Amino acid sequence: MAEFLTDLLAWFGDNWSGSTGYITRTWEHLWVSGWAVLAAMGVAMPLASWLGHARRGGILAISVVNVGRALPSFGIVALSLPVTIRIARNVPFIDSGLGFLPTFVALFALALPPIFTNTYTGVRNVSPEAVEAARGMGFRGTGILWKVELPLASPVILAGIRTSSVQVVATATLGALVAYGGLGRYIIDGFALRDNVTIFAGALLVAALSVLTEVAFSIAERWLVPRPLRNVGTQQRPEAAASVAR
Amino acid sequence: MVSPVSDAMIRLEAVTKQYPGTMTPAVDELSLEIPEGEIAVLVGPSGCGKTTTLKMINRLIEPTSGEIVVAGERVTEMDQSELRRGIGYVIQQIGLFPHRTIAENIATVPKLLGWDKARTNERIDELIDVVQLEPEMRDRYPAELSGGQRQRVGVARALAADPPVMLMDEPFGAVDPIVRSALQDQFLDLQHRLNKTIVLVTHDIDEAIKLGDRVAILNVGGILEQYAPPSDMLREPANAFVADFLGSDRGLKRLGLLPIRNANLEMGPVVAPTAHPQDAHRVMEQYGVDWFAVAEGKRLLGWAPGTALETAPDVRSIPLQPYRTRIDVGSTLKEALDAVVSSRAPMTAVFDGDDYLGMLSADRISREIVQ
Amino acid sequence: MTLVAEAFVDWGWIGDNLDEIWDKVAEHLVLTGIALGVGLAISLALAALALRFRRSYTPITWMTGTLYSIPSLALFAFLVPITGFTTLTAEIGLVSYTLLILIRNIVAGIDGVPPDIKEAAVGMGYGRLRLFFEIELPLALPVIVAGMRIAAVTTIGLVTVTALIGKGGLGFFILRGLQRFFSTVGSTEILIGTLLSVVLAVIVDVGLLLLERALTPWARRKVA
């Protein structure tokens, strides 16, 4: 036991720098996660806010949650690889279908459901009185969406982005399986070599990064959500958010 | 040792409930005796401790001090669950078990007591009949019933093991006023047959007066202001609080409790068909009216205006009009007064079935209040 | 990259490997079933504790919430140095993820039982245990089953990850496919493993929904 701890400490001393060091690995991990969440926001939010504003597609929103929950993240990551390999072969300016691309595609797909559902329900559940009042003051369709519905829905939308991000950071660990870097590298390589110290160190780093992501978002929520609307997001999170097995 | 100092079914002796962290007790040294087979109603403003008092009887709330004796046994010395299984309990929200059918709900206490199937089933059928539900409701779920029906199932469930004592907390509070009145009548009817000892809590003084053999008026902090039969209380409120709580129309309320059967009826300006016209003039003068009625034995034949006497040779030949202001002897004086004031006749005729008994005027009724 | 096969799916593979597919489906269901059964038992005990001693609820949700927030691969990785590449490691991880959802739903479901129903039961002489098993638990059933459905669907997805520690049910196909991703067999295996996992999740979800309907006949019939 004591020996294991000594080895573990030594590992952290020996492996912090260089292209396989954990600083680089952490950066890789966050890099692919960040792009995946941003891309998912870019796709899901406009569509969901329009549907929520038009008060259409309720069944779609519910199905997205359920399907999202049923998707095995391991399967999605694995499935991306043969897809991106074929894309890379047919699109000249993509030079590799390994590594970043399949990881990104999988994480993007997994990030969509929570953002879509929360944006939709957030906009949809804005009280009809508030919308009516805005209409009475002369706001029109897009004005209502931008000036009333989206600000009021912001806590719920932010909660969706948070759920997605935490999930994406967790699942990015699996990127190591499709030849990407990231912190999952240590666990996967450790498994292959039956190297308990590396496995455990990798697990610690991954767990720490997920917890930090959660913490970062709770701080961001304090900053971004207007005081009267706080708590709304966290209350709705268990119901509205789609959580994917990670 | 408990000494049976009285034949009261339920006895509260200086019962006090003080919740921790409060300055004043919720119930303060309350003593009450409820005789077997009577309905005692606890009534008062909110915060008077009426529900607390009720719940101390089946130990849903434990008294801080004092003694409660039910059927000769101190409740604090009994096993809680056994005590409760022996006492019927009805609450305002009824609290039917939504996952059990009506029959299963009624069978709750028999099942706890370990009755066999046949006996329980027989009892369920009997109770469904007693509370006037249709037999096909047996296998329905509570959600499929109306509010009034659910309330009756609640009463049936409380009666299931035939407990001698029933506790009822605002039992008619959750149903609308029309249904409530009908349920109250049905409840009184039931009590005439079953003779349970009942403690009932309400905030509605009219309900207390209607249902109670005795009414206990409690003040905030669980202070007993008066404990008496309702008609005594209405005639003689113990203090200003009671008078105020009974309301400014307590004379009328008391009339509602007095049966016509016990009142002194008047002869009224009534003559026999064989009477001389002069007799008719005499009774009209005696009662200060310008009409007279004609009765033959127990049959009221009708009435005629005094002017009819001028042209007729005798009473028998006068054409009579039917006497429409009438009331049954089973009604209350309040109903008699209503009959008088809502018709143009100054008197109502009192009947027992088809038999004419006599007359009641507003003046006569008001004298009955004083007695 | 001329090594990569043109075709993505070889439907013939399914027919050639039916026996193995059935084996892995069965393994997947067994892993899921054990995780849910053990998870439910632990959750019931912890929920009962939380309901009895209110102050324990916050630490219990905090603990299970922390477990829930650890990425699955990391959780398995924590366990491997201790319990090795075993079914036990897989089950400890899978059970951990069911706890938060189940405990939260059990507590919420029992808290949601109307107080008048409990008062009536106690007033008629129900003891604490009888109240819990005959009144509170049956009435909380819809909320508890809702939690079971989320836990079941989540667990079915997570079982695939246990392929990385040598178990995995349908995850076995995903991992083997990944090892020969350049061939049509490889992509077929990944696709079939993933699709069947989703299908299993949907079937179990619907199955639990039907079970709930069957167990709560009172909730369906209402006054017209």
Global ipTM: 0.86
pLDDT exceeds cutoff 90 at A238? no
* CB-CB neighbors (< 8 A) of A174 in chain C: 73, 161
Domain A21-240 falls in which CATH fold? MetI-like fold (1.10.3720)
The CA-based angle A2-A3-A7, given to 5 degrees, is 120
What DSSP letter does each residue of B35-79 carry, written as one string? ETT-EEEEE-STTS-HHHHHHHHTTSS--SEEEEEETTEEGGGS-
B321, B221: one domain: no
Nearest CB to B99; choose among C124, C139, C223: C139
Nearest CB to C116; choose among B95, B100, B143: B95
Element (H, E) at B293: strand B291-296
The CATH number of the domain holding residue B101 is 3.40.50.300
Sign of the CA dihedral with B26 first, then B229, B188, and B348 last:
negative
Neighbors of chain C by Cβ distance (3+ pairs < 8 Å): A, B
**pLDDT at residue C3, rounded to an integer:** 55
**pLDDT at residue A139, rounded to an integer:** 85
How many whole angstroms separate alpha carbon C121 and alpha carbon B257?
Answer: 36
Instruction: Kindly provide the b/e burial profile for residues A77-101, where b requires at least 16 CB atoms within 10 angstroms of the residue's own CB.
Output: bbbbbbbbbbebeeeeeeeebbbbb
How many whole angstroms separate alpha carbon A110 and alpha carbon A37?
Answer: 9
Q: What is the DSSP letter of B200?
A: E
**What residue numbers bound the domain in which B283 lies?**
261-370
pLDDT exceeds cutoff 50 at B202? yes
Residue-level pLDDT, tens digit, chain C, 224 residues: 445 667 888 888 988 999 999 999 999 999 999 999 999 999 999 999 999 899 999 999 999 988 888 888 899 998 988 998 999 999 999 999 999 999 999 999 999 999 999 999 999 999 989 999 999 999 999 999 999 999 999 999 999 999 999 888 999 999 999 998 888 899 999 999 999 999 999 999 999 999 999 988 888 765 44
Q: Would an 8 Å CB–CB cutoff place C164 in contact with chain A? A: yes
How many whole angstroms separate alpha carbon A121 and alpha carbon A62?
Answer: 10
B214, B332: one domain: no
Q: How far is CA A184 from CA A172, A199, B180, B244, in A?
A: 7, 9, 70, 80
**Closest to B290 (Cα-Cα) out of B318, B274, B316, B269:** B269
Q: Would an 8 Å CB–CB cutoff place C218 in contact with chain B? A: yes
**β-bridge mates for residue B360, sequence order:** B348
B330, B222: one domain: no
Q: Would an 8 Å CB–CB cutoff place C182 in contact with chain A? A: yes
CB contact (8 A) between residue A211 and residue C69: yes
pLDDT exceeds cutoff 70 at A235? no
CB-defined contacts B:C, below 8 A: 75
Q: Which two tokens stand for residue B107?
A: 């069978």
How many whole angstroms separate alpha carbon B330 and alpha carbon C125?
Answer: 41
Q: Please answer whether residues A48 and A112 qualify as being in contact, where contact means their C-beta atoms are separated by less than 8 angstroms.
A: no
B101, B197: one domain: yes
**pLDDT at residue A230, rounded to an integer:** 64
The shortest C-alpha distance from C19 to chain B (Å) reads: 44
B168, B284: one domain: no
**pLDDT at residue B6, rounded to an integer:** 55
Neighbors of chain B by Cβ distance (3+ pairs < 8 Å): C
Nearest CB to C124; choose among B89, B93, B100: B89
**Helix segments in chain B, DSSP class H:** 50-57, 80-85, 102-106, 108-113, 117-130, 147-159, 177-194, 205-211, 230-235, 240-246, 250-255, 277-287, 308-311, 333-341, 362-370
Q: Would an 8 Å CB–CB cutoff place C69 in contact with chain A? A: yes
CB contact (8 A) between residue C205 and residue A170: no
Nearest CB to B98; choose among C118, C127, C218: C218
Q: Which of A74, A218, A246 to mutate to test the interface with C (most CBs of C within 10 A)?
A: A74
pLDDT of B30-76, one tens digit each?
Answer: 999 999 999 999 999 988 999 999 999 999 999 999 999 999 899 99
Backbone angles phi, psi at B312, to 5 degrees: -90, 145
Q: Which two tokens stand for residue C171?
A: 């995850």
The shortest C-alpha distance from B146 to chain C (Å) reads: 8
Domain ranges, ordered by start, for chain A:
21-240
Rg (CA), chain C: 21
Q: Would an 8 Å CB–CB cutoff place A212 in contact with chain C? A: no
CB-defined contacts A:C, below 8 A: 153
Backbone angles phi, psi at C113, to 5 degrees: -70, 125
Q: What is the mean pLDDT of residues B277-281?
A: 87
* CB count in 10 Å sphere of residue C206: 11
Q: Which two tokens stand for residue A11?
A: 């590992």
Q: Is B279 a member of any domain? A: yes
The shortest C-alpha distance from C143 to chain B (Å) reads: 14
* CB-CB neighbors (< 8 A) of B144 in chain C: 221-223
What DSSP letter does each residue of chain A carry, written as one string? -HHHHHHHHHHHHHSSSSTTSHHHHHHHHHHHHHHHHHHHHHHHHHHHHHHHHHT--HHHHHHHHHHHHHS-HHHHHHHHHHHHHHHHHHSTT---SSTHHHHHHHHHHHHHHHHHHHHHHHHHTS-HHHHHHHHHTT--HHHHIIIIIHHHHHHHHHHHHHHHHHHHHHHGGGGGGGT--STHHHHHHHHHHT-HHHHHHHHHHHHHHHHHHHHHHHHHHHHHS-GGGTTHHHHHHHHH------
Nearest CA in chain C to B143: C222
Neighbors of chain A by Cβ distance (3+ pairs < 8 Å): C
Rounded to the nearest integer, the mean pLDDT of chain B is 90
B46, B192: one domain: yes
CB contact (8 A) between residue C117 and residue B95: yes
**pLDDT at residue B58, rounded to an integer:** 93
Backbone angles phi, psi at A125, to 5 degrees: -90, 5
Q: Please answer whether residues B225 and B217 qualify as being in contact, where contact means their C-beta atoms are separated by less than 8 angstroms.
A: yes
B139, B32: one domain: yes
Chains C and B touch (3+ CB pairs under 8 A): yes
Give residue A241's identity as a one-letter amino acid code: A
* Number of domain units in chain B: 2
CB contact (8 A) between residue A74 and residue C182: no
**pLDDT at residue B371, rounded to an integer:** 64
Q: Please answer whether residues C223 and B146 qualify as being in contact, where contact means their C-beta atoms are separated by less than 8 angstroms.
A: yes
What DSSP letter does each residue of chain C carry, written as one string? -TTS-S-S--THHHHHTHHHHHHHHHHHHHHHHHHHHHHHHHHHHHHHHHHHSGGGHHHHHHHHHHHHHS-HHHHHHHHHHHH-SSHHHHHHHHHHHHHHHHHHHHHHHHHTS-HHHHHHHHHTT--HHHIIIIIIHHHHHHHHHHHHHHHHHHHHHHHGGGGGGT--TTHHHHHHHHHTTTSHHHHHHHHHHHHHHHHHHHHHHHHHHHHHHHH-GGGT----
How many whole angstroms separate alpha carbon A94 and alpha carbon A45?
Answer: 27
Q: Is B245 a member of any domain? A: yes
* CB-CB neighbors (< 8 A) of C156 in chain A: 70, 72, 245
B104, B54: one domain: yes
Q: How far is CA C143 from CA B278, C103, C140, C209, in A?
A: 88, 11, 6, 11
Q: Is B192 a member of any domain? A: yes
How many whole angstroms separate alpha carbon B14 and alpha carbon B191?
Answer: 29
**β-bridge mates for residue B270, sequence order:** B293
Rounded to the nearest integer, the mean pLDDT of chain A is 85
**Closest to B44 (Cα-Cα) out of B168, B184, B208:** B208
Chains C and A touch (3+ CB pairs under 8 A): yes
**Closest to B208 (Cα-Cα) out of B253, B147, B150:** B253
Q: Residues of A numbered 73-112 whose beta carbons fall under 8 angstroms of chain C's beta carbons: which are they?
A: 73-76, 78-79, 81-82, 85-86, 88-89, 97
**Any residues with CB less than 8 A from the CB of A36 and at least 6 apart, and which?**
A103, A104, A107, A108, A110, A111, A168, A172
**Closest to A160 (Cα-Cα) out of A103, A51, A236, A212:** A236
Give residue A86's identity as a one-letter amino acid code: R
pLDDT exceeds cutoff 50 at B14? yes
The shortest C-alpha distance from B156 to chain C (Å) reads: 13
* Residue carrying structure tokens 């009604």: B331
B116, B235: one domain: yes
CATH top-level class of C18-214: mainly alpha
Q: How far is CA A161 from CA A164, A216, C191, in A?
A: 5, 12, 28
Residues in chain C: 224
CA of residue A233 relative to chain centroid, distance: 17
Q: What is the DSSP letter of B140?
A: -
The CA-based angle B145-B146-B147, given to 5 degrees, is 120
**pLDDT at residue B22, rounded to an integer:** 87
Q: Is B91 a member of any domain? A: yes
Nearest CA in chain B to C224: B144
**Domain's final residue, options B186, B221, B254:** B254
How many whole angstroms separate alpha carbon C156 and alpha carbon C204?
Answer: 9
Q: Is B108 a member of any domain? A: yes
Q: Which of C4, C73, C187 to mutate to test the interface with A (most CBs of A within 10 A)?
A: C73
The three-state secondary structure class of B345 is: coil
Nearest CA in chain C to A171: C71
The shortest C-alpha distance from B134 to chain C (Å) reads: 16
Q: Residues of C numbered 95-114 whose beta carbons fall under 8 angstroms of chain B's beta carbons: which are they?
A: 114
pLDDT exceeds cutoff 50 at A237? no
The three-state secondary structure class of B3 is: coil
pLDDT exceeds cutoff 50 at A244? no
**Domain's final residue, options B254, B289, B308:** B254
How many whole angstroms separate alpha carbon B365 and alpha carbon B266?
Answer: 10
With helix as H, strand as E and coil as C, how does A188-213 read? HHHHHHCCHHHHHHHHHHHHHHHHHH
How many whole angstroms separate alpha carbon C153 and alpha carbon C169?
Answer: 15
B235, B316: one domain: no
CB contact (8 A) between residue B85 and residue C125: yes
Q: Which two tokens stand for residue C59?
A: 């630490």
* CB count in 10 Å sphere of residue C28: 25
Angle between helix B147-159 and B177-194 (nearest 10):
20
How many whole angstroms separate alpha carbon A78 and alpha carbon C163?
Answer: 12
